[in-house]
Structure 1
Amino acid sequence: MSAVQQQNISPVLEFTPLDAQRAQAHGALLLDVREDDERAAGMPAGALGLPLGEIEARIAAIEPDRQREILALCGSGRRSLRAAETLRALGYAHAVSVAGGFKRWNEEGLPLAEGGFDADALDRYSRHLLLPEVGAAGQGKLARARVALIGVGGLGSPAGFYLTAAGVGSITLIDDDVVEKSNLQRQILHTDARIGMAKTESARVALAALNPQVHVRTQKTRLLAANVEQLIRDHDVVIDGADNFPTRYLLSAACLRLKIPLVYGAVHRFTGQVSVFDARRDDSPCYRCLFPEPPAAEDAPNCAEAGVLGVLPGIIGLLQASEAIKLILGIGAPLVGRLLCFDALAATFRELRLSRDPHCPGCGADVQFRGYEDIARICASA
């Protein structure tokens, strides 16, 4: 570098994020020198991505004018200092580092590129962002996902909590019941102070307190033949937290017709089971492959009649949340064609294979759909 060039080098090596944004507005080039996967979580508005290791090879093609001011930004401000030094060694006299990096840029509320995560999201979901199977792309999928939660009782409580904590963008709560004192032994979304309140509203209060970024919609109504499609259409996953067969048969039929994955869960005294019925897959069984016809009422008492260990719905509901998240992210092996059974007394899990029944009254090849009202009547007559 000539003596003249050396004299023209700016003595400033760092800008604050605010000063950098002002310089950018006056024509400076903002260069995000983080790796591609890091930038997927968000970038400053108008920034150009160029990893630190590629600067020497690519900067001349990107910006041939060595007198242009270049602002290097990384995650915390360390790599960007090295980037500024590299740029100056290449003759870019006005290269500076952005102090504090993207973290500080975010904290100061400066503009982000569309689709990025703000400071709250980066902090809140930081452990997800570290997982290669989730990362920024997966967290974005969760943020765009819509889940319908049928029932906000024993199963819906843990499922709702963890889906909200995970950052599922929109959750619809469907339940027509109110909070009773007997619920509180297992329905952890609710509190003693909210006895008498609609369960959907009680759950909304709890979930909003956990994660205000999630949009929680409430539908204080019972799932019926007349409204089932309207309530669950436009969702990506449906979670069955119901406690009765009429609702489950309606859900099964509607999810089959609308091609929405259904995450099934059920509990009885000390045992529970979980499975996934995914109508998008040709090999997936449906709920009626497992239960072709509803049992007699005396053979299938609910929790109010048979009792249930309080922690059991928590375990099953968590498994349902886990399956829903896997379906949204498209990772792992969902419980399609598998029925996972849990025995709390023995502390054992057992997996049963569940094949699609070609003669199933729900999804069999020769089945003709005759309307939801017929299905509801079958269940109600059991």
Structure 2
Amino acid sequence: MAISEITPRQARERQRQGALLVDIREPHERASGQAEGALAVGQAELEAAHARHLPSQVATIVLICQSGRRSAATAAALQAAGYADVHSVAGGTTAWMAEALPVVRPHLEPDEADFLERYSRHLRLAEVGVEGQRRLERSSVLLVGAGGLGSPVAFYLAAAGIGHLRLVDDDVVDRSNLQRQILHVESTIGAPKVDSARERLAALNPRVRIEAVRARVTSANVEALLDGVDVVVDGSDNFPLRYLLNDACVKLGRPLVYGAVQRFEGQASVFDAGRHRGRCPCYRCLFPEPPPPQFAPSCAEAGVLGVLPGIVGLLQANEAIKLLLGIGQTLAGRLLQFDALAMRFREVRLAADPDCPVCAPGRPFPGYIDYARFCATGG
């Protein structure tokens, strides 16, 4: 039997005549408003225990969701269960509101209302939902670098609702940064980058705790900086720091989200050898020795297309969020390379080096080294 779809106004009229209007959306969806007089019962609960919530099988039942798709599916399920007079509201609550029909909003505490409204698009994803969003709010990320890569990473992690973002950088804002480091603005030139970043991020999402650490990451403080964090994101433009972060993450069992840019090319990966020894490579498996300095100029020396760090930084933010939520397939074991001029992505498979001096299974941590000297001499 075909499902009966009716307009919001027809649904309102049937409601006046005694029909039971049932809003089958999830609680976070109803926070923005629901049809006046509707009974609120989630779709899964209604389908599993319809007799608990609905009157006799001959009663008139009108179902409403957000757009009409879920209500039509549930109407079909109720028909199969023996309900003879079931209807679905075409266009759902969106159409109901568009026709200016009466709406009520549930009473919520201010913090809960802010949570549900701010993250409403995340909450509608089955892979995230309320539980996943709460997990993000409990998460802590260390972001090293508030520059070209760190800017998009920080913006999108803050927007996504990461609970604690520890941001480390020892530099100050320079006018030449503004071409790509979108965390900073003209008025913050000369200010510490972490202070400039904290101000912008707090304005974007006051729910996130921004811990601004103006410091250079060294062997002496790296473990304290990693303390309590779930994911480390490398936004540096610095070979010694990349090796240091890698070694610390392997030792302490933290996933490291890597990104690098130069001129028109960038790359990203996830190094998770600390938690998956022998299965996932570390940064040293990819680069056992640093390239000679003359073959690895910094962005300040070689230049960089302004949008390139934004593209690679967004890839890093995406990987960090996936790691925190435990969803999807990360870039662990894969190096994603991007050519901005050709607009082409290329993927290279990476294997763990069984003889890696840092992450080989069963090998004790060798200790931190003089990373600046290591990179200056090419290993």
Provide TM-score, normalisation by structure 2.
0.73
Matched, 1:204 2:198: yes
Distance 1:133 1:200, change over 3 A: same
Distance 1:277 1:56 in 2: 48
Match of 2:347 in 1: 351
Structure 1 counterpart of 2:318, one-letter code: S
> Which residue of the partner structure matches residue 118 of structure 1?
112
Unaligned runs of 5+ in 2: 1-21, 32-39, 54-63, 72-101
Question: Residue in 1 aligned with 2:121?
Answer: 127
**1:137 counterpart residue number:** 131
Distance in 2, matches of 1:242 and 1:140, equals 29
- Is the partner of 1:357 in helix, strand or coil? coil
Q: CA deviation at 1:370?
A: 3.2
Q: Which position in structure 2 is the counterpart of 1:280?
A: 275
Q: Aligned match of 2:317 in 301, 310, 321?
A: 321
Match of 1:222 among 210, 216, 222: 216
For the 8 Å contact 1:41–1:137, the answer to whether it is kept is: no
Question: Equivalent residues in 2 for 1:181-200 (5 A)?
Answer: 181-200=175-194
Q: Give the distance between the partners of 1:269 and 1:54, measured in 2 at CA.
A: 57
CA apart distance, 1:104: 3.0
Question: Which residue is equivalent to 1:104?
Answer: 106
Aligned residues: 303
What is the deviation of 1:369?
2.5
Specify whether residues 34 and 227 from structure 1 end up closer, same or farther in structure 2 by C-alpha distance, changes over 3 A only. farther
Structure 1 distance, partners of 2:135, 2:167, is: 20
Query: Per the alignment, in what secondary structure is the counterpart of residue 141 of structure 2?
Result: strand
Q: Give CA deviations for 1:234-262 in whole Å, capped at 9, x if unaligned.
A: 11110000111111111000000111100
Partner of 1:90: none
Q: Is the 8 A contact 2:292 2:375 kept in 1?
A: no
Cα distance in 2, alignment partners of residues 303 and 318 from structure 1: 18
Residue 38 of structure 1 is matched in structure 2 by 26
- Residue 141 of structure 1, CA deviation: 1.3
Asked if the contact 1:160/1:207 (under 8 Å) is kept, the reply is yes
AA matched with 2:248: A
1:319 partner amino acid: L
Assess, with a 3 A threshold, how the Cα gap between structure 1 residues 58 and 204 changes in structure 2: closer, same or farther: same
Contact 2:293 2:375 in 1 (8 A): no
Partner of 2:304: 308
Aligned counterpart for 2:238 among listed residues 230, 244, 268: 244
* Change in CA separation of 1:41 and 1:172 when aligned onto 2, cut-off 3 Å: farther
Residues 226 and 373 in structure 1, CA contact (< 8 A), matched pair in contact too: no
SS in 2 for 1:252: helix
CA-to-aligned-CA distance 1:266-285 (integer Å, 9 cap, x gap): 00100000000112123110
* 2:332 is the alignment partner of 1:330: no
Shift of 1:131: 0.9
The alpha-carbon distance between structure 1 residues 41 and 255, as it changes in their structure 2 partners (threshold 3 A), is farther
Query: SS of the counterpart of 2:26?
Result: helix
Question: CA separation in 1, counterparts of 2:29 and 2:221?
Answer: 39
What is the CA-CA distance between 1:373 and the residue it aligns to?
3.6
Contact 1:172–1:218 (8 Å) recurs in 2: yes
Q: Report if the CA contact (8 A) 2:29-2:120 is conserved.
A: no
Report the Cα offset of residue 54 of structure 1.
Answer: 6.5
CA shift, 1:232, in A, is 1.3
Runs of 5+ unmatched residues, structure 1: 1-32, 60-73, 80-98, 111-116
Q: Which amino acid aligns with 2:281?
A: P
Deviation track 1:336-374 (CA, whole Å, cap 9, x = no partner) reads 110000000000000001111111222124744332244
Secondary structure in 2 aligned to 1:105? coil
Post-superposition offset of 1:126: 0.8
Amino acid at match of 2:276: R
Q: Secondary structure at the match of 1:358?
A: coil
1:247-258 counterparts in 2 under 5 A? 247-258=241-252
Q: Evaluate the alpha carbon distance shift between residue 38 and residue 158 of structure 1 in structure 2; reply closer, same or farther with a 3 A threshold.
A: same
Q: Contact 1:40/1:137 (CA < 8 Å) preserved in 2?
A: no
Which segment is superposed worse, 212-221 or 275-284? 275-284
**Are 1:263 and 1:276, in contact at CA under 8 Å, matched by a contact in 2?**
yes
The Cα of 1:57 is off from its aligned counterpart by: 4.0
Counterpart CA distance in 2 for 1:53 and 1:206 is: 46
For residues 275 and 54 of structure 1, the distance between their equivalents in structure 2, rounded to whole angstroms, comes to 43
Partner-residue secondary structure (3-state), 2:154: helix
User: Which deviations, in whole Å up to 9, do the C-alpha atoms of 1:309-351 show, x marking residues without a partner?
Assistant: 0000000000000000111111111001100000000000000
How far does the alpha carbon of each residue in 1:130-156 deviate from its partner, in whole angstroms, 9 at most, with x for none? 111111111111111101100010000
Contact 2:357 2:366 in 1 (8 A): no
Q: Aligned-pair distance for 1:295?
A: 1.8
What's the CA shift for 1:42? 11
Contact between 1:225 and 1:376, CA under 8 Å: does it hold in 2?
no
- Counterpart contact for 1:289–1:362, Cα < 8 Å: no
Question: Helix, strand or coil for the counterpart of 1:171?
Answer: strand
SS across alignment from 1:295 = coil
Give the match for residue 379 of structure 1.
375
Q: Per-residue CA shift, 1:76-109, capped at 9, x if unaligned?
A: 9xx9xxxxxxxxxxxxxxxxxxx966x4312xx3
| Deviation of 1:38 (Å) | 2.4
* 2:263 corresponds to: 269
Shift of 1:75: 9.6
CA distance in 2, matches of 1:41, 1:277: 37
